Chain A
Amino acid sequence: MNLAVRDIRRHMMRFLLTCVGLGMLLTVVMAMSGIYRGLVADSTRVINAVPAQLWIVEQNTRGPFAENSRLPEDLQYTIAAVRGVRQASPLSYQYVQIPHRGKPVRLMLIGYRLGGLGGPVNIVAGRPILKKHYEIVVDQKSGYSLGEVIHLGLENYSVVGLTKNIVSPSGDPVGYLSLLDAQTVQFQLDNDAIRNNRQRLTATYAPLSRMSSLLGARATRQAISAGENVHFVNAVVAELNPAAQPNEVATHIGRWNHYQVFSSAQESDLLLRGFIEKSKKQLWLFRIILMLVSGVIIALIIYTLTMDKLREIATLKIIGAPDRTIISLILEQSLAMGVLGFALGYLLISQTYTLYPRTVILQRLDMGILLLVVVLVCILSSLLGIWRALKVDPSTALGGGGG
């Protein structure tokens, strides 16, 4: 006869309410591990979406995500000419925050060469960008729908496609533009700024013009042209031939072309180590604190339930129940509470994880480990109750005082 089951059956409502409370607490623990997994996945999603083996960035930087990197766009041709490189493509990255239906939306804009590497993947509605200008593909997480117009910089862009789960390392939805559009958004100045800039440069080179009008005019033109040049990118990515050795190609580019080269794995590592290390520690700390809180709550509940049953435990001892029967009564209730709490928590998180603002990824391994931890916490938490129960003097069941 299972006494724990009988006791639970008799006090079903109290037991269920306790399990619901515990389940909600465990939901938060599960959400923490899900957010951590989501953080890892999000931080590498943009890198994984580019089918390239090498990332070429500005020398002595860890760009384009962990640090700023600025390269001339035409570097792509130099890289494409390196032995072992199949194709090279320029990419630009920038963040914008724009109003949408009264709320600010943060977008990571990726500019890519049409037909090149790093374009939108996982398009679930609409189409990729086909025209060189004024089209944008955004992730559906941004809230935009097909046909909507987004005002960026000086121009308007029509949403022609929607991707799914393509987000920046910080979890913001990604928007794809043609490279020229992205460069325009990032670098092109408005008319007033251009006018001011030209006047400033003309004034700067005026002494030179007084010495030689031809030299002065040329220098001024060149300075203005340099200031209005938008042909910069943040990285050039390279897809290698199957036979090429990535290390050799990377060494060659680094040594002879004076650029920093990272493999895709190194880029991911830069993000994981630099970007989410603190968040990872923070989430772990939260999880440990929550598990401790769960343990204390289970211990208190089990201890209180045991204290309520001291007379019954004394009676069980008098009628000859062995200690293992009494231990089972307490331990099994604790385990039932933990396991049911876990199941309710899992049910809750699996129904609500899509509503979280950040990506939440529930992994079976994490859930399995958490279940083991919950079982361990339940066993440890019930020790106090078991200790109290085993200390009960059977003669207390006789009661009545007397002689």
Chain B
Amino acid sequence: MEAVHVENLSKIYRRGDTTTVALSHVDLTVDRGELVAVLGPSGSGKTTLLTCVCCISEPTEGIIEIDGIRIYDNGWTGVDVRAMRRQKMGVIFQAYNLIPFLTVLENVELILTLNKFSRRESLEKAMWLLDYLEIAHRWHHYPTEISGGEQQRVAIARALANDPAVLLADEPTAALDTERGKSVMTLLRRLSREKNTAVIVVTHDKRMVEGFDRIYQIADGEMLNGKNSHDVELVTSLHL
């Protein structure tokens, strides 16, 4: 089943007489349980694509459907995008972006509370997720009191708390060393299977995309067709 369907998506920024085409007629489809990477260098348009799929930035043109719900239709949105993000999406940030004044447990509970889970349900589910990601022993610590790798696990737990149809990860390994980065990618792969979630990872690091179901190459706002991970060497050598 398609979790994300992007069709003919364009994003054009206009400032005075200057026009910048950030995305041009991009198509992207990701099924539930699928792990997909969007690979591209700095300035290629991958974060713009993420902001459009994440319903933060309205596209100039094109269609976006999340879990079968059409959000943008030629630049128009007919749904509450915040509610959409709250209920259908999970986001993992490059800098983790944990709320610093909440404990590890509260950071995970927050999204559940926003989704009107009861106090008891939120607590149980948050603890289960922390346990699942092997970070439960740190539940009472504040983000500044744990390591970068641990913070990223908490961020993943938070992103999973609402059982999202799609998990969007923005450079999730950028702040980690190679070994920890690979371990996060392995975790994301496991999650996509076990949670039946579509995972889209935006990254510029080709070393991290090994074992992905599909890899989309993006350059100058234009998307190449999705490749299997073993084809990536060829594609990256052509475009990066």
Chain A min CB distance to B115 (Å)? 8
Q: Is the CB of A318 within 8 A of B91?
A: yes
Q: Does A400 contact B95, Cβ atoms closer than 8 Å? A: yes
Question: Known interface pairs A321-B86, A403-B44. Does A316 touch B56 (Cβ–Cβ under 8 Å)?
Answer: no
Residue from B46, B110, B158 in contact with A402 in the complex, judged by beta carbons closer than 8 Å: B46
In the complex, whether B106 has a CB less than 8 A from a CB of chain A is yes
Interface size classification for chain B: 35 or more
Within 8 A of B (CB), among A203-218: none
Interface residues of A in 61-107 (CB under 8 A from B): none
Q: Which A residues touch B218, using CB under 8 A?
A: 403
Stretch at the interface among A3-11, A126-134, A154-162, A245-253: A3-11
Specify which chain A residues have a CB less than 8 angstroms from the CB of B158 in the assembled complex: 319
Cβ contact of B82, chosen from A1, A10, A311, A320, cutoff 8 A: A320
Interface-located stretch among A50-58, A381-389, A390-398 = A390-398
Pick the residue among B85, B101, B170 that contacts A320 (CB under 8 A).
B85
A interface footprint on B83-109 (CB within 8 Å = 1, 0 otherwise): 111110101011101011110001001
Q: Which residues of A contact B106 (CB under 8 A)?
A: 1, 6
Chain B residue contacts of A322, Cβ below 8 A: 82-83, 114
Decide yes or no whether A317 CB sits under 8 A from chain B. Answer: yes
Please determine whether A400 and B45 come into contact, CB atoms closer than 8 angstroms.
no
Given A319-B85, A400-B170: A311 in contact with B42 (beta carbons within 8 A):
no
Query: When each residue 309-339 of chain A gets 1 if its CB lies under 8 Å from chain B and 0 otherwise, what string results?
Result: 0011001111111100100000000000000
Residue from A317, A393, A397, A402 with most neighbouring chain B CB atoms (10 Å): A402
A-chain residues with CB within 8 Å of residue B87 when the two chains form the complex: 320
1/0 per position for A361-403, CB-CB distance to B under 8 A?
A: 0000000000000000000000000000000011101111111
Q: Judge if B204 is at the interface, Cβ distance under 8 Å.
A: yes
B42 with A402: CB separation less than 8 A:
yes
Say if the beta carbon of B77 comes within 8 Å of chain A.
no
**Chain A residue, CB-CB nearest to B57:** A395
Contact B100 A312 (CB under 8 A): yes
Cβ-defined contact, B82 with A317, below 8 A:
yes
Q: Which residue of A lies closest to B88 (CB)?
A: A320
Q: Given the complex of chains A and B, what is the CA–CA distance between A45 and B78 in angstroms?
A: 71
Inter-subunit contact B51/A401 (CB<8 Å): no
Chain B contacts for A321, CB-based, 8 A: 82, 86, 110, 114
Assembled-state Cα–Cα distance A192/B86 (Å): 99
A398 contacts B41, C-beta separation under 8 Å: no
Residue of B nearest to A7 (CB): B101
CB < 8 Å: which of B46, B47, B86, B101 contacts A319? B86
Question: Which residue on chain B has the smallest CB distance to residue A322?
Answer: B82
Q: Which of B44, B54, B110, B204 contacts A318 (CB 8 A)?
A: B54
Residues in B whose Cβ lies below 8 Å from that of A402: 42-43, 46-47, 170-171, 202, 204
**Do B56 and A319 have beta carbons less than 8 Å apart?**
no
Min CB–CB distance A199 → chain B (angstroms): 90
Do A1 and B109 touch (CB < 8 A)? yes
A1 proximity list for chain B (CB < 8 A):
106, 109-110, 113
Q: Is the CB of A319 within 8 A of B94?
A: no
State the CA gap A322–B85 with chains docked (Å): 11
**Cα distance A394–B142 when bound, in Å?**
23
List the A side residues contacting B93 at CB < 8 Å: 315, 318, 397-399
CB of A86, distance to nearest CB on chain B (Å): 74
Residue of A nearest to B97 (CB): A315
A-chain residues with CB within 8 Å of residue B56 when the two chains form the complex: 318, 393-395, 398
Asked if B111 CB lies within 8 Å of chain A CBs, one says yes
Kindly provide the distance from the CB of B126 to the nearest chain A CB, expressed in whole angstroms. 11
Q: Bound complex: CA of A315 vs CA of B40, how far in Å?
A: 24
Q: How far is the CB of A33 from chain B (nearest CB, A)?
A: 36
Q: Are B85 and A10 in contact (CB under 8 A)?
A: no
| Complexed CA–CA distance, A181 and B114 (Å) | 81
Which residues of chain A from 1 to 38 have any CB-CB distance to chain B below 8 Å in the complex? 1, 3, 6-7, 9-11
Query: In whole angstroms, how far apart are the Cα atoms of A35 and B94 in the complex?
Result: 59
Instruction: Point out the residues of chain A lying under 8 angstroms from B202, CB to CB.
Output: 402
- Contact indicator B48/A11 (Cβ below 8 Å): no
**Structural contact, B46 and A403, CB atoms closer than 8 A:** yes
Chain A min CB distance to B25 (Å): 17
Q: Are A320 and B99 in contact (CB under 8 A)?
A: no
Instruction: Collect the chain A residues with CB atoms within 8 Å of residue B89's CB.
Output: 320
Q: A321-B86, A403-B40 are in contact. List 9 more A-B contacts (CB 8 A).
A: A1-B106, A3-B99, A6-B101, A9-B101, A315-B99, A320-B86, A395-B47, A398-B170, A403-B47
B contact residues vs A (CB 8 Å cutoff): 40-48, 50-51, 54, 56-57, 82-87, 89, 91, 93-95, 97, 99-102, 106, 109-111, 113-114, 142, 158, 170-171, 174, 202, 204, 218
Query: A residues engaging B (CB < 8 A)?
Result: 1, 3, 6-7, 9-11, 311-312, 315-322, 325, 393-395, 397-403
By Cβ-Cβ distance, the 4 closest A-B pairs, closest first, are: A320-B86, A10-B101, A403-B44, A320-B85
